[in-house]
Chain A
Amino acid sequence: MAGQRGSVYVVVLGMAMLVTAIGLSSLLHARVTHRQVMRFHGMDQARVLAGSAIDVGLFLIEQDAAAWQQMLGDAEGQTVDLLTGTIVPGAGGASQESLGGGTYSILATFLDDGDPASGADEATLLGVGRSAGARFLLEVRVDAMGHVVAGTWRRRMGSGT
């Protein structure tokens, strides 16, 4: 008899757990969807920011051609943060500027032709856009005059920035 009485509570407890499980799974689903929406939102804005970063990088080069020529001579084989004008150890050391609910960074890596005396002839501009946890990297080659080399636009995959 005591066992039969207890079974009522087991049934009630089971129902309560079932209802709780339904509620929790609904919450979990909502969280996953939220993450997907945010990621989509973030990736799209990050792409726009990466393009803007390259654009601003080209503008900075055009505005201060003397500084660009100096970088070509001094920073062969090295990476320069174009927002601060300083040599950074790698893409991870870049400064970030805020724009449109995200941030962007601009880096120029000067190609090493093996002859330190001649300076660099080309550089790779890397624009990094970040928004809502998403990150987009866009790169393009520029020549010694700071002009884009046709056909060199790439979306770069990778981490560390």
Chain B
Amino acid sequence: MTCPRCQPARLQAGLTLVEAVVCLLVVSMMLVAALNTVGASRLTRRSWDERARGAELAGALMSEILETHFEDVNDPPIFGRESSESGADRSDWDDVDDYHGWLNSPPQRRDGSVLAHLAGWTREVAVTWADPSNLQQDVAAQTGIKRIRVIVRRGPRVVAERIALRTEAWPDPDVPDQPPYILFVVADADSPTPQEQVRVALLESWNRAVVLISGSESQETFDAFAANAVAAYVSAEPGTEAMGNKLTRVAFGIVNENRHLVDDLKFSSAFFDVAATDQTSITNQPHYITDTLPAQTNGDILLLTSPQPLWSSSSEPAPDLLILAEVGKDNRFVVALEAGAVTARDELGFPIAWAAGRRVAIGWGGSGFDLGALNSDGRMLLQRALEWATGEDQP
């Protein structure tokens, strides 16, 4: 015998075809909408990555142009390249209008070497005389103001553009007329501290030409001084941190001792001071800088003749950071970044920043550090760090 009230209840327990179709429709519509959003978001993201890279390329070339003189100082100045300047690369271009009409694809460094992974990208430069009464207006006659326009394209599309002015009133920085030198960043170039003088003496004992620059100098002065530098060396003395990110973009190597610059030079987001010690250890990471250091049986290396305050780069290291030596337990004492190493990724893991050149951070130089306490291995570490930064490890 069947219960008459059970029949409708059993029917109600299942889904009707209409309900199932409605559910399916709702979920499908939401999925389509969400996938569209994610797809569009990824496409947009690619375009923004492209713009970020374009901005880097445009900014780097503009910085290079603004390092040069308003007009040629060696030859009788003409607008455009002087007869002694080649068109093969930009290494002997010395005034802003030498760059007029420059177009290259893929983009190249100043020495003519091609920048990797940039096929299809183009950089071009136009330099024109600007009308003093309307600086956006070009004029044919000489006016004393040059407008510089750098355009970066990917295919036919303009990705980034930079515009700057350079006038005849701009003071040409007093760039040292010396052979390629180590640019030594100090607190005050007019009055180097005793510790900085010790460093200069050490560099000169290795037959290095050294030019001093104050960390507080302008970006323009840094750019100008960088023109003849083969590497930069940043002293740990208080005050050099004023350098900030003025050398972040240079393609030559940098050896840094100042713990306040670990963020600007993209090693890591922070540092911490390590209690005075003379115990450091090298890691298993094979590297030119540390390969010849004689480790003791327990892996330790002695770099100092007495305990000295050291520091460690901590927190959020650059993804491609190489840890070459440690102090204490897992405190990064010597770290390095190869040119082109990824220094930051976004939340999805996409690279968003790269090291423009080789970078080394040596964690000595905390408050009260005495460079005179370096033993021969400590001095060798510094010497090899400078050799690696200048590219002398390569044949």
Contact = CB atoms under 8 A, between A and B. Distances in A.
Interface of A: 1-2, 4-5, 8-9, 12, 15-16, 19-20, 22-23, 26-27, 29-30, 33-34, 37, 40-41, 44-45, 47-49, 51-52, 55-56, 58-59, 61-63, 97-101, 138, 140, 146-148, 150-151, 153-155
B30 to A, nearest CB: 4
21 contacts: A5-B13, A9-B23, A12-B23, A16-B27, A19-B27, A19-B34, A20-B30, A23-B38, A29-B41, A33-B346, A44-B55, A45-B163, A47-B219, A48-B163, A52-B164, A52-B165, A52-B166, A100-B164, A148-B171, A151-B216, A153-B219
A8 B34 contact: no
Which range contains the number of B residues in contact with the other chain?
35 or more
Interface stretch (B45-53, B229-237, B365-373): B45-53
Pick from A2, A33, A47, A62 the residue with the most CB of B within 10 Å: A33
A158 B293 CA distance: 47
Consensus secondary structure, chain A interface: helix
Interface in B130-174: 132, 135-136, 144-145, 149, 160-171, 174
Given A23-B37, A100-B164, A55 B170 contact: yes
B221 interface: yes
B214 A151 contact: yes
Contacts of A99: 135-136, 163, 165
Interface string B208-219: 000000101111
Interface string B1-25: 0000000010011010001000100
B153 to A, nearest CB: 16
> What are the 10 closest A-B residue pairs judged by CB atoms, nearest first?
A153-B218, A100-B163, A59-B167, A58-B169, A52-B165, A23-B34, A23-B37, A59-B169, A19-B30, A62-B169
A143 B347 CA distance: 50
Given A51-B220, A59-B168, A34 B44 contact: yes
Contacts of A16: 26-27, 30
Nearest to A57: B169
Pick from A16, A58, A140 the residue with the most CB of B within 10 Å: A16
Contacts of B33: 19, 23
A44 B162 CA distance: 9
Given A47-B219, A58-B167, 19 more contacts: A4-B13, A9-B23, A23-B38, A29-B41, A33-B346, A34-B44, A41-B51, A48-B62, A51-B219, A52-B166, A56-B145, A59-B170, A62-B169, A100-B161, A148-B171, A150-B174, A153-B218, A153-B219, A154-B218
Contacts of B162: 44-45, 48, 100
Contact of A8 (B15, B165, B190): B15
Nearest to B188: A151
B363 interface: no
Contacts of B190: 151
B31 interface: yes
B135 A97 contact: yes
B357 interface: no
Contact of A37 (B48, B135, B219): B48
